[in-house]
A and B are shown apart, each in its own frame.
Chain A
Amino acid sequence: MSDTFLYGIEVVMNGLMAGVLYALVALGFVLIYKASGIFNYAQGVMALFAALTLVGIMEGQVPFSHLINAIFGTNIHHFGWEVPAILAIFLTMGVMVLFAYLVQRFVFRHLVGQEPIILFMATIGLAYFLEGFGDLMWGSEIKKLDIGLVQGASVWFEDLTSGLGGDGFYGFYIDVLDVTAAVVAVILVVSLTLFSQYSKQGRAMRAVADDHQAALSVGISLNFIWILVWSIAGFVALVAGIMWGAKSGVQFSLSLIALKALPVLMLGGFTSIPGAIVGGLIIGVGEKLFEFMIGPMIGGATEAWFAYVLALVFLVFRPQGLFGDKIIERV
């Protein structure tokens, strides 16, 4: 086999892994959009906020320490303890549930029945608020997130595959962390699907997504379901935040990278959970492969725009995305 072909395969594999992370963020979008028609611009920032909170709790950081120090002239920053990763993850999840409750109670509860664009604007406000709040609470420096996930090349896989190519080929490079992310994503999607299909709350979620009046009449509390949905989106954000943070550190650019979820949604459709996954993988693989094959001819750096252009092409030819509900024009 030619080495170029083998490198091509490696590019595809790495693209798949990057795609998993896009898919995780896109998944959070889809959950909220289906249940409430809200396009949640803040999903990426929620991932960032979750990761910041997780690191903060694990390291025993004092929240709002800058603010406290500025007001009281103190100089505190750490409690002096460390919290085990598992416990910190549970605590962070608690914070995300609290966030879900507050968002519903103080923002969206007052916006029920408003135009989608107004809901969307509200989430933009929410995104910037949360970003600033995260900064205020935990500080803005880049943080390392280490919850004990194995990282780095899989030597085993490299050895296993090194025989495939010639002398210059040392085997496929795969980051173990990426594999973990993929496995976690699969587990997440399967459990979310089971939950939505078979549990009482999952049924209620689907009902609310379909018709509010009807949902009310069968005894569903819209408020409860929306808090639940935002909590689940918070959980998905936490998972995405952990994976992404472990890979490239917890930094504020995470919320920008998360915008890649937009083209993912254009591809997969805004209402489809499998769509979010497949869309994420296509974008992940597509941009890596494009950079690998076409990039050198046109000066590289194609990863910055490839996803958006691909989404544009999709918008023109298949506006509902690969898996989205068919848009039927009524005339």
Chain B
Amino acid sequence: MSDNSQDISQGGYTTVDGRKIGGVMMEMKNITLRFGGVVAISDISFNIHEGEIRAIIGPNGAGKSSMLNVISGFYNPQEGEVWFHGAKRPNMRPYQVAEQGIARTFQNIALFEGMSVLDNVMTGRLTKMKSGMFAQALWKGKAEQEEFENREVVEKIIDFLEIQAIRKTPVARLPYGLKKRVELARALAAEPKLLLLDEPMAGMNVEEKEDMSRFILDVNDEFGTTIALIEHDMGVVMDLSDRVVVMDYGRKIGDGTPAEVLANQDVIDAYLGVSHD
């Protein structure tokens, strides 16, 4: 079924456009996730290499978001193993995964609606804030220094994503496209090693999609951030991703470069809606 023709081993590889990709950062081994009788993910294995942009595609209900939720610790699979940086990861809570340097955005946007854009992005720094409450109370100087450094990182990201104009705006007032961008900013503020994006361009117009694509490529290029993203727009997937996992009904039906998966008969069938039986 799978056409892992390129057969990328544990080591790195070089992309079509000549970028150097590192070794395996994250490895999903035989993951199965069930909700009662529904099998959202069925025995899926794939890996994510250091520095690559990995896309997960598939029809609605295929289990893509569930997979991202497994990686980020929101769901714990019934079967299978998650390996991160060469070590098997025990079942983890989302906050523990975040502390490991994995940041994410949500399909349905989860922002702090009552806070300004700046405060939202600032919360992305929480994992980087060291001073505990007593240190902050007793040792004001150090806490202030830390606050200053966090502000600097946040301002850099705000400039990078071109949202300076709305820094002080309450998030609730922003249009959808900008909210998606703020959510990305908050995830970036954690300076993650691995960035998970669940449909970062859903509901956007062409222009907004182009902006978002550019940001994603720049993040990967400038910060060297590894990115796993879910996307429905095939054009975008072709442009952005180095390798693609294709899911359908909880199973993996394809894995490889965009060109490879597009030539895969199972993938074509799934997308053309050939009946499953």
Name A residues whose Cβ lies closer than 8 Å to a Cβ of B: 195, 198-201, 203-204, 206-207, 209-211, 213-222, 325
Contact = CB atoms under 8 A, between A and B. Distances in A.
Contacts of A218: 98, 103, 123-124, 126-127, 186, 190
A206 B115 contact: yes
Given A216-B74, A219-B95, A195 B112 contact: no
Interface string B124-167: 10110101110011000001000100000000000000000000
Nearest to B132: A200
Contacts, number: 77
Most buried by B among A201, A209, A214, A218: A218
Given A207-B123, A207-B126, 6 more contacts: A203-B122, A214-B186, A217-B105, A218-B123, A219-B95, A222-B95
B99 A217 contact: no
A221 B123 contact: no
Contacts of A216: 74, 93-95, 98
B269 interface: no
Contacts of B104: 217
Contacts of B105: 217
B133 A195 contact: yes
9 smallest A-B Cβ distances: which pairs?
A219-B98, A214-B110, A219-B127, A216-B94, A210-B112, A213-B110, A200-B129, A221-B95, A219-B95
A220 B186 CA distance: 14
Contacts of A215: 123
B114 interface: yes
Nearest to B73: A216
B113 interface: yes
A292 B126 CA distance: 52
A199, A200, A204, A213: which has the most chain B beta carbons within 10 Å? A200
Contacts of B187: 217
B249 interface: no
B136 A199 contact: yes
Interface string B84-116: 000000000111001100011110001111110
A201 B133 contact: yes
Contact of A200 (B72, B112, B115, B131): B131
Nearest to B111: A214
Contacts of A201: 132-133
B205 to A, nearest CB: 25
9 contacts: A199-B137, A200-B126, A204-B126, A207-B112, A209-B114, A217-B72, A218-B103, A219-B98, A219-B99
A200 B95 contact: no
Contacts of A222: 95
B114 A210 contact: yes
Name the residue among B123, B124, B136 with the largest chain A CB count within 10 angstroms: B123
- The interface centre, meaning the residue of A198, A203, A222 with most chain B CB atoms within 10 A of its CB, is A203
Contacts of A200: 126, 129, 131-133, 136
Interface string B42-72: 0000000000000000000000000000001
Given A198-B136, A199-B133, A211-B113, A217 B126 contact: no
Nearest to A223: B93
A193 to B, nearest CB: 14
A209 B114 CA distance: 9
Given A195-B133, A217-B104, A211 B98 contact: no
Contacts of B115: 206, 210
A219 B190 contact: yes
Contacts of B122: 203
B135 to A, nearest CB: 9
A214 B105 CA distance: 9
B131 A214 contact: no
Contact of A217 (B94, B136, B143): B94
A180 B12 CA distance: 68
